[in-house]
Amino acid sequence: MKMKLREVYSALKIESENIPDVEITGVCFDSRKAKTGDLFFPLQGERDGHEFINSAIEHGVSATIWQNDHDIPNNKIPYVTVEDVSKAFETLAKYYLRKVNPRVIAVTGSNGKTTTKDMIAKILSTSNNVAKTPQNFNNEIGVPYTILNMPTNTEVLVVEMGMDRPGQIDHLSNIASPDISVITMIGEAHIEFFGTRDKIADAKMEIVNHLHEDGAFVYNGDEPLLLERAEKVDQLKFKFGNHTSNDLYATEIVPGKTTTKFKVNLWPELDFEIPMMGEYNVNNALAAMLVGRISHIKPEAMQKALQELFVTANRTEWMKAKNGADILSDVYNSNPTAAIEVLHSLKDIKTGRKIIVLGDMLELGDAAKSLHESLASHIDPKDFAKVYLVGDDMKYLRDKLSDKYNSSNLLWYGKDQLSELTSNLQQELQPSDTILLKASHGIHLESVLHELI
């Protein structure tokens, strides 16, 4: 970013005669990360951002936004007075987006959006200057922040969009105005707030509400809910998935512990490889490859880009226990779709005895019982020797599995029994074992993981 403070005034449609000659080279809302050249936005969070303006000044910001219902500040640095800080943040983002004018790729989905964003950015960077959402900054703060901090020479901007309520994706896509909209899949994440997968699909489809007329929609063609809704989209449409009815699908998948190899229908002579496990990640790669194809990236360039991929936040991570056992850790996020995907991926890997530790999947509302029970059909003693379950809702899965497992191989713990769980795992775990730990963050299996490693 690079603009004079007077340009900020103009973008926000604020008239003033005495505007200091200050150059702005970035924006920030976290005073601890502020630096010289930044314009500070005191956004409202758990605390009022105006409380941190002095801290931002100490860190060297060049100017600050100030909401006019607060006391007038001192004049240590220039300030821009606005009626609403959040609206000013979004207005300036829209202005800067029009100024730089990159092609915008917007990505959402119940699972896989961060990985897919990284894959798209890696593929498109083979022939473009690409900026992307840092980490998972995918909400009303993260999307404007991503836009305002992209370099002035950005040719493609890849924006991740998350949601926890209806209308949120519409709002974010209005800010970003995408040229290509991508939906990775529809799962059960946040079903507590939406009620049904149909309503989740409706909310995800908001990503095409502000899609350019000459834009393109890339979506998972294996999902009937998306197929049905895509019929109403007038822009170009491209499908990926497992079915041969899709525009792009994998013809051969070779699973591995840390890599997955596959071929695709469009370029059968090429072998593709991604540095991560799981058929679900192949689907993420297919979505990115379709974006690459729309953007005229050669398949050989896509092949090389995917092989060299480094993802922002690969939550499913291989680690080593103190005794040498392999740990597949995903202790910060879980929902039924993600749990089933990782169970299938682990099942396909040739290794020694496999043990699984599953904690409650949160934010499932009235569907919690049936969705926890649904995991039972994906868990079998021939694949997983022992099952450890944690949390109130995992009682439902325990009851469903009780006809498959005897009591010594199927154990349940309350959320307050993590110390007992840890002790039992340490006694049970052998150096040749592979163990999966997966739960929503509220279960705090990270404490168990810490003791194991």
The C-alpha atoms of residue 315 and residue 330 are separated, in whole angstroms, by: 6
Q: Which residues, listed in sequence order, are joined to residue 163 by a DSSP beta bridge?
A: none
Of the three residues 275, 307, 339, the one that is the final residue of a domain is 307
The C-alpha atoms of residue 145 and residue 143 are separated, in whole angstroms, by: 5
Question: Do 419 and 330 share a structural domain?
Answer: yes
Q: Whole-number mean pLDDT of the chain? A: 95
**Binding-site residue positions for ATP:** 109-115
**Binding-site residue positions:** 109-115
> What pLDDT shows up at residue 75?
72
* The two structure tokens encoding residue 20: 């200091």
- Domain boundaries, position 67: 3-84
Express as a percent the part of the chain with pLDDT over 90: 90
C-alpha to C-alpha distances, 391 to 134, 358, 360, 406, nearest whole angstrom: 33, 9, 5, 20
> What pLDDT shows up at residue 313?
54
> What pLDDT shows up at residue 332?
86
Of the three residues 263, 281, 307, the one that is the final residue of a domain is 307
Taking alpha carbons only, the member of 394, 401, 443, 440 closest to residue 418 is: 443
Spatial strand order of the sheet with 260-264 comes to: 130-132, 156-160, 103-108, 180-183, 216-220, 236-241, 248-255, 260-264, 272-274
Question: Do 348 and 296 share a structural domain?
Answer: no
Question: Do 270 and 213 share a structural domain?
Answer: yes
pLDDT digits (tens, 9 = 90+) for 11-51: 999 999 889 999 999 999 999 999 999 999 999 988 999 99
Question: Does some domain include residue 90?
Answer: no
Whichever domain contains 206, its CATH number is 3.40.1190.10
Question: Do 429 and 324 share a structural domain?
Answer: yes
The C-alpha atoms of residue 245 and residue 238 are separated, in whole angstroms, by: 11
User: How far, in whole angstroms, is CA 52 from its chain's centroid?
Assistant: 28
Question: Do 427 and 343 share a structural domain?
Answer: yes
Q: Please check the confidence at residue 312 and state whether its pLDDT lies above 80.
A: no
Question: Does some domain include residue 91?
Answer: no
Q: Are 152 and 2 in contact (CB under 8 A)?
A: yes
* 42 CB-side CA count, 13 A: 26
Q: Which residues, listed in sequence order, are joined to residue 81 by a DSSP beta bridge?
A: 66
Q: Are 252 and 263 in contact (CB under 8 A)?
A: yes
Question: Do 274 and 147 share a structural domain?
Answer: yes
pLDDT classification of 392: cutoffs 50, 70, 90:
very high
Question: Does some domain include residue 97?
Answer: no
Taking alpha carbons only, the member of 67, 75, 76, 80 closest to residue 24 is: 80
pLDDT digits (tens, 9 = 90+) for 90-141: 999 999 999 999 999 999 999 999 999 999 999 999 999 999 999 889 999 9
Question: Do 268 and 136 share a structural domain?
Answer: yes
The number of distinct structural domains making up the chain is 3
Q: Are 317 and 329 in contact (CB under 8 A)?
A: yes
The C-alpha atoms of residue 275 and residue 419 are separated, in whole angstroms, by: 34
Of the three residues 265, 280, 307, the one that is the final residue of a domain is 307
